[in-house]
Amino acid sequence: MSDNIEMIGNIKLDLTHYPGEDFYCDGAIEDEILDIVKNNDEYGQIIEHKKNWPILYHLSPLRGNIVEWLPISKNDKVLEIGSGCGAITGTLSAKCGQLTCVDLSKKRSLINAYRNKDRDNITIKLGNFQDVEPSLDTDYDYICLIGVFEYGKAYIDSPNPYETFLNIIKKHLAPGGRIAIAIENRMGLKYLAGCQEDHLGTYFSGIEDYPDGGVVRTFTRPGLEDIMKNCDVSSYSFYYPYPDYKFMHTLFSDKRLPNIGELTTNLRNFDRDRILLFDEKNAFDSIIRDGQFPYFSNSYFVLIGDELDINYAKYSNDRDETYAIRTDMVTKDGKPGYRKVALSEKSKAHVNKIYDDGQALIKRYEGSDLLVCPVEKEEDGIISFPYLEGDTLENKLDNCLEAGDKDKFIDYIKMFNLYLTYNKGANISDYDMVFSNILIDNNDNWKLIDYEWSENSTIPPEDIMKRALYVYRLGSEKRKNFNLDEVLSSLDINNYDAEKLNQDEINFQAKVTGGRKSLSQLRDAIHYEVLPLTNAIERIKNLDIEKLVQIYPEGENGFSEETSYFLTPVKNDNNKNIIEIKLNDTKSVRVDFCNLESMLVIGDTYVNQEKYPFKKLVTNGVNLTKNTYLFPHKDPNVIFNFKKPVSGLLTIEYEISKLTETMVENFK
């Protein structure tokens, strides 16, 4: 075997173009992950125990959702650019015949190799993409760039690196092949709402079009379309991974955009604290209503090549493997329909049971006006359904609440109850017969569209009704406004025990998840904070007064917020505060030492470590003594004027204390 080839199990590492060292690394955490994959085959319990974002990010099997839905077959040859630690590699390898990976980091490629060491169809080529690229084949059926395209400027030496990158990739595509790009949307709603930019860890930098420069660039949909246009790409489809492409559980498309009320999984700050400037669910509802979702989707999945027949995919695999499935919306013979696909051998029995339960429910509701969605069995572990028109009962009830139509609300609930009680002695019950699983069309026809959690037993209808009301109320703060007692009274239902219902729901979810922690629970365990705007404002107000120093260098138009910045002071040996301000041919600088009513004592001042006494300081406060100033307002500022423009470092010693309300009032 060539000296340039290393074998890890069945995995071939090609070091021909490896420069001999890794030029980027996340440090000790990569050593920890390498140790984990060397000594373990399953990572679920480790992820839960470690409560660590990098370990979750690199080892969670849910990362593979972003490509699992693609119709890749064992006849296909796939190229994965930027394979990293292999979060996507395993999913691609399980689907395709031959997989070639490219990555610059040997440490990450070793992690990839050890976690997939039993696969016999993977080659990992190490090195910079520009060096490796000439050795790549030109007949790949799929080329995948998952979280990679945004780094094109770092990989490609070109005045137009992203266009050059895409044109290079196109050369390696087989006729009829496809390129898959997953990338953040720099105008994604979560970034507007207060999530930090993924790559830089700063607020609003993508929205501001990366004012500080750097090699990372994410794009809006028009931005990506411009790149494709410049590369003569005319055949492409946009998909919208939700909440984002990293941990996607639902994939939308232009043919199946999200419905109002559908986007509720928005707290996904696994990696950093975030601000919560507004309720993203309500904002998404407004955006969807106005037809603007494609512009504000948090992420994009762009598929270059012939269009697929999959318009939508929903993953239900954040649960026990026994119940892991995917639900697709597909176009078949020009007609839309749905199918449920088992995602493991273990879950095939679950999918087959849904088919059997569907047949039983159809029989139960014969003679009623409730249509149970027909189901066909395509093969073991795959079933299909026709597409049914209508609005959900959940949305109908929401509309009643918004319109204040209490009578219509009660009428809908009573009709729902009639269907719950129809042939109630039958040995089949849909435990999850909730309002979101009922459609009502324009002719007032009622349809049951999802019966995954049916049981071959008789569940009392009032128990299903109580759960439906409980789940409905949990879905939105707006829904807590209706009079629950009045609804229950109209149905002659007693003993509504919210605490018991809550425990029953916990038990049901524990059954579904197999005791595993959900992503939401993992986020809480990792414990990065979600700080609502009002709380953030109060926190800023209550910060130590000594930690709020804003610097305004003088520009052509004087002092401006746009050119201002903040400094954090330190303490000197005399326990006085010190700030150091960089000067660049500066004639004057304004310093706002805080944003509260305060008394300020200016100590010694230095320029380039030499004392520089200012004869007179310009302030918007009251000069009590030579160096002491009183500010009975919340915008205290001091202007330091130099005799001539100065460069270097201005050092200021100072002491500051907050005025009490009584002191402020007495001064006024």
By C-alpha distance, which of 182, 165, 147, 60 is closest to 523? 60
Whole-number pLDDT of residue 228: 97
Mean pLDDT across the stretch 6-30? 89
Mean pLDDT across the stretch 447-475? 94
Whole-number pLDDT of residue 212: 85
By C-alpha distance, which of 108, 156, 104 is closest to 130? 156
- Report whether pLDDT(1) > 60: no
Local confidence band at 170 (pLDDT 50, 70, 90 cut-offs)? very high
DSSP 8-state assignment for residue 237: E
* Cβ-Cβ contacts under 8 Å for 335 (sequence gap 6 or more): 386, 387
Q: Is there a contact between 650 and 607 (Cβ–Cβ < 8 Å)?
A: yes
Ranges 352-361, 409-418, 438-447, 585-594: which has the least confidence: 585-594
Residue 579, token pair as written in the block: 């700030």
- Report whether pLDDT(23) > 80: no
CA dist 281 and 382 (Å) reads 32
- The more confident residue out of 555 and 78 is 78
Q: What percent of the chain has pLDDT over 70?
A: 98
- Report whether pLDDT(3) > 90: no
Domain boundaries, the chain: 5-316, 391-517, 543-667
Local confidence band at 384 (pLDDT 50, 70, 90 cut-offs)? very high
Main-chain phi, psi angles of 296, to 5 degrees: -110, 5
Whole-number pLDDT of residue 27: 79
Residue 338, token pair as written in the block: 């749905």
DSSP for 286-350, written as a single string? HHHHTT-HHHH-SEEEEEESSPPSEEEEEEE-SS-GGG-EEEEEEEETTEEEEEEEESSTTTHHH
Whole-number pLDDT of residue 268: 87
Q: Which amino acid is at 97?
A: G
208-222: b or e for each residue (b if 16 or more CB lie within 10 Å)?
eebeeeeebbbbbbe
Ranges 137-151, 225-239, 433-447, 549-563: which has the least confidence: 549-563
Whole-number pLDDT of residue 541: 64
Whole-number pLDDT of residue 542: 63
Mean pLDDT across the stretch 485-490? 90
Q: Is there a contact between 310 and 329 (Cβ–Cβ < 8 Å)?
A: yes
Local confidence band at 520 (pLDDT 50, 70, 90 cut-offs)? confident
- Report whether pLDDT(418) > 80: yes
Q: What is the pLDDT of residues 109-158, one digit of tens each?
A: 999 999 999 999 999 999 999 999 999 999 999 999 999 999 998 888 89
Q: What is the pLDDT of residues 203-251, one digit of tens each?
A: 999 999 999 888 899 999 999 999 999 999 999 999 999 999 999 999 9
- Report whether pLDDT(89) > 90: yes
Mean pLDDT across the stretch 532-537? 76
Mean pLDDT across the stretch 345-364? 97
Query: If residue 657 lies in a helix (H) or strand (E), which one and from where to where?
Result: strand 638-658
- Report whether pLDDT(39) > 80: yes
Q: Tokens 């703060």 map to which residue?
A: 477
Local confidence band at 565 (pLDDT 50, 70, 90 cut-offs)? confident
CA dist 300 and 179 (Å) reads 13
CA dist list (Å): 237 to 177, 184, 304 = 14, 16, 7
CA dist 124 and 114 (Å) reads 12
Q: Tokens 């050119």 map to which residue?
A: 563
CA angle 243, 244, 246 (to 5 degrees): 125
Q: Is there a contact between 368 and 419 (Cβ–Cβ < 8 Å)?
A: yes
Whole-number pLDDT of residue 668: 63
Residue 190, token pair as written in the block: 């979560």
Q: How many separate helices (H) and strands (E) can be counted in the chain?
A: 22, 33
CA dist 426 and 464 (Å) reads 15
Q: Is there a contact between 639 and 554 (Cβ–Cβ < 8 Å)?
A: no
Listed in sequence order, the DSSP H helices in 73-220 are: 89-95, 106-115, 129-132, 152-155, 161-170, 189-193
Pick the CATH number of 5-316 from 3.40.50.150, 3.40.50.2300, 3.30.230.10, 3.40.50.300: 3.40.50.150
Q: What is the pLDDT of residues 42-64, one digit of tens each?
A: 999 999 999 999 999 999 999 99
> Per DSSP, what are the bridge partners of residue 8?
11
Q: Which amino acid is at 240?
A: Y
CA dist 644 and 585 (Å) reads 9
* Helical pair 106-115 and 28-39, crossing angle rounded to 10 deg: 20
Q: Is there a contact between 448 and 361 (Cβ–Cβ < 8 Å)?
A: yes
Local confidence band at 543 (pLDDT 50, 70, 90 cut-offs)? low
Q: Which amino acid is at 185?
A: N
Whole-number pLDDT of residue 69: 98
Q: What is the pLDDT of residues 595-616, one digit of tens each?
A: 888 999 999 999 999 999 888 8
Whole-number pLDDT of residue 544: 66
Local confidence band at 276 (pLDDT 50, 70, 90 cut-offs)? very high
CATH class of 391-517: mainly alpha
Q: Is there a contact between 405 and 420 (Cβ–Cβ < 8 Å)?
A: no
Q: Is there a contact between 581 and 650 (Cβ–Cβ < 8 Å)?
A: yes
Of the chain, the end-to-end C-alpha distance in Å amounts to: 87
Distance of CA 191 to the CA centre of its chain: 10
Residue 57 CB neighbour total at 10 angstroms: 18
- Report whether pLDDT(577) > 70: yes
CA dist 40 and 268 (Å) reads 27
- Report whether pLDDT(254) > 90: yes
Local confidence band at 26 (pLDDT 50, 70, 90 cut-offs)? confident
Q: Which amino acid is at 639?
A: I
Q: Which amino acid is at 438?
A: I
- Report whether pLDDT(82) > 60: yes
Local confidence band at 532 (pLDDT 50, 70, 90 cut-offs)? confident
Mean pLDDT across the stretch 159-179? 96
Local confidence band at 498 (pLDDT 50, 70, 90 cut-offs)? confident
Whole-number pLDDT of residue 13: 96
